[in-house]
Amino acid sequence: MSKKVRKAVFPAAGLGTRFLPATKAQPKEMLPLVDKPLIQYGVEEAIQSGIKNIVVVTGRGKSAIEDHFDVNFELEYILQAKGKKDLLQLVREVSEMIDIAYVRQKEALGLGHAVLRSREIVGHEPFAVVLSDDVIDSEVPCLRQLLDIHDFFGASVVALMEVPKEQISAYGVVDAEPVDHNGAKNRLYRVRNMVEKPNAEDAPSNLAIIGRYILVPEIYQSIEAVEPGAGGEIQLTDALKHLLRNRPIYGYRFEGKRFDAGDKLGFLKATVEFALRRKDLGDSFREYLRNLKI
Ligand code: UTP
């Protein structure tokens, strides 16, 4: 029996340089998609996948994240006094949803380094990692899809997505063989190797790793063992490659649509699609877009 995954780690200490100047004094994770900050989409995905213990890795200038998940007495008092029950419920929900802990990454030394900071809090058990700038729209939460594979095989699982050749050099890419699971061969893979940001010609496949992982605790030793890689940062992909020497890693081509909301164009696409799907905004927004006649 594999151990149950109880905790999700949210690395949120990056500098967000692709979104400057918006991210100069404001965390990227707090940019709103319609009316909810990016990180809340990830937190809700974790909750819907059965995980309520959230560990956020923060850095300098990230206090808005802590405030967002805290109780705001003054605001609640005013909303109560004005009889704005719906809004009161909205702001309360956020702080009531989860059990949250924070750990600090003093310098942005890479995603692997950020994950390592969660070691004391996570302890010796498997855990999830969610990069909240990858926003995923799916029927079954992406994390839940990965957890089902983890529960079956008791191994690490990374979320995979097919990426066109001209974009592949922006990702960690796997060399992997398909695995027949529940009679289906087209979603699950056993990872043989992986490369961080390969040239299009050297990429071992078109399957890229995106920001959802289920990791066994041995990953912490692997992160410690690897040297800084691309960009002088401690890369999680390098640690996964190290882990692969002794432990299996599965890749799951998840069902759903992923938006790279840490990138300006990806963020705009996500905003449009999420707004169109909203009951309260969708119709009037659709009409507005139609009238633009572009
Ligand atoms: P990104 O690769 O998107 O980097 O990190 P970034 O610094 O946030 O943004 P850009 O590329 O400069 O625009 C992926 C995730 O890993 C976290 C980020 O906060 C993001 O959630 N991260 C990255 C850390 O927590 N620490 C790091 O040192 C690097």
Which amino acid residue places its CA nearest to atom 1 of ligand 1?
14
* Token pair for 122: 């996570």
Residue 31 predicted with pLDDT over 70: yes
CATH superfamily of 7-262: Spore Coat Polysaccharide Biosynthesis Protein SpsA; Chain A (3.90.550.10)
Quick: pLDDT tens for 66-90: 989 888 888 888 988 989 888 888 8
Quick: pLDDT tens for 96-135: 878 999 999 999 999 999 999 999 999 999 999 999 999 9
Question: Is the shortest distance between the CB of 109 and ligand 1 below 6 Å?
Answer: yes
Atom of ligand 1 lying closest to residue 108 CA: 28
Question: Is the shortest distance between the CB of 16 and ligand 1 below 6 Å?
Answer: yes
Residue 1 predicted with pLDDT over 60: no
Show me where the domains of the chain are located.
Answer: 7-262, 263-294
Name beta bridge partners: 143: none
Question: Is the shortest distance between the CB of 57 and ligand 1 below 6 Å?
Answer: yes
Range 16-31 average pLDDT: 91
Q: What is the pLDDT of residue 265?
A: 95
The b-or-e profile of 8-43 (16+ CB within 10 A means b, else e) is bbbbbbbebeebeeebeebbbbbbebbebbbbbbbb
> In this predicted structure, which of 30-34, 60-64, 82-86, 276-280 has the lowest mean pLDDT?
60-64
pTM as predicted: 0.94
Q: What is the 3-state secondary structure (H, E, C) of the chain?
A: CCCCCCEEEEECCCCCHHHCCCCCCCCHHHCEECCEEHHHHHHHHHHHCCCCEEEEEECCCCHHHHHHCCCCHHHHHHHHHCCCHHHHHHHHHHHHCCEEEEEECCCCCCHHHHHHCCHHHHCCCCEEEECCCEEEECCCCHHHHHHHHHHHHCCEEEEEEECCHHHHHHCEEEEEEECCECCECCCEEEEEEEEECCCHHHCCCCEEEEEEEEECCCHHHHHHHCCCCHHHCCCHHHHHHHHCCCCCEEEEECCCEEEECCCHHHHHHHHHHHHHCCCCCHHHHHHHHHHHCC
More confident residue, 16 or 141: 141
Residue 259 predicted with pLDDT over 90: yes
Cα 159 to middle of ligand 1, angstroms: 17
Quick: pLDDT tens for 36-68: 999 999 999 999 999 999 999 998 877 899 989
Residue 138 predicted with pLDDT over 90: yes
Residue 172 predicted with pLDDT over 90: yes
CA–CA separation, 290 and 294 (whole Å):
8
Q: What is the pLDDT of residue 97?
A: 78
Measured in whole angstroms, the distance separating CA 104 from the mean position of its chain's CA atoms is: 18
CA–CA separation, 32 and 135 (whole Å):
12
Residue 273 predicted with pLDDT over 80: yes
Mutate to test the pocket of ligand 1, among 10, 18, 62, 111 (most ligand atoms within 8 A of CB): 111
Q: What is the pLDDT of residue 103?
A: 96
The answer to whether residues 215 and 147 touch, using CB atoms and an 8 Å cutoff, is no
CA–CA separation, 105 and 116 (whole Å):
9
Quick: pLDDT tens for 187-229: 999 999 999 889 999 999 999 999 999 999 999 999 999 998 7
Range 161-169 average pLDDT: 95
More confident residue, 26 or 127: 127
Amino acid at 291: N
Q: What is the pLDDT of residue 60?
A: 81
Question: Is the shortest distance between the CB of 181 and ligand 1 below 6 Å?
Answer: no
In this structure, the strands spanning 53-58 and 7-11 are parallel
* Token pair for 205: 């496949």
Q: What is the pLDDT of residue 247?
A: 97
Residues of the chain above pLDDT 90, percent: 77
Residue 181 predicted with pLDDT over 90: no
Residues of the chain above pLDDT 70, percent: 99
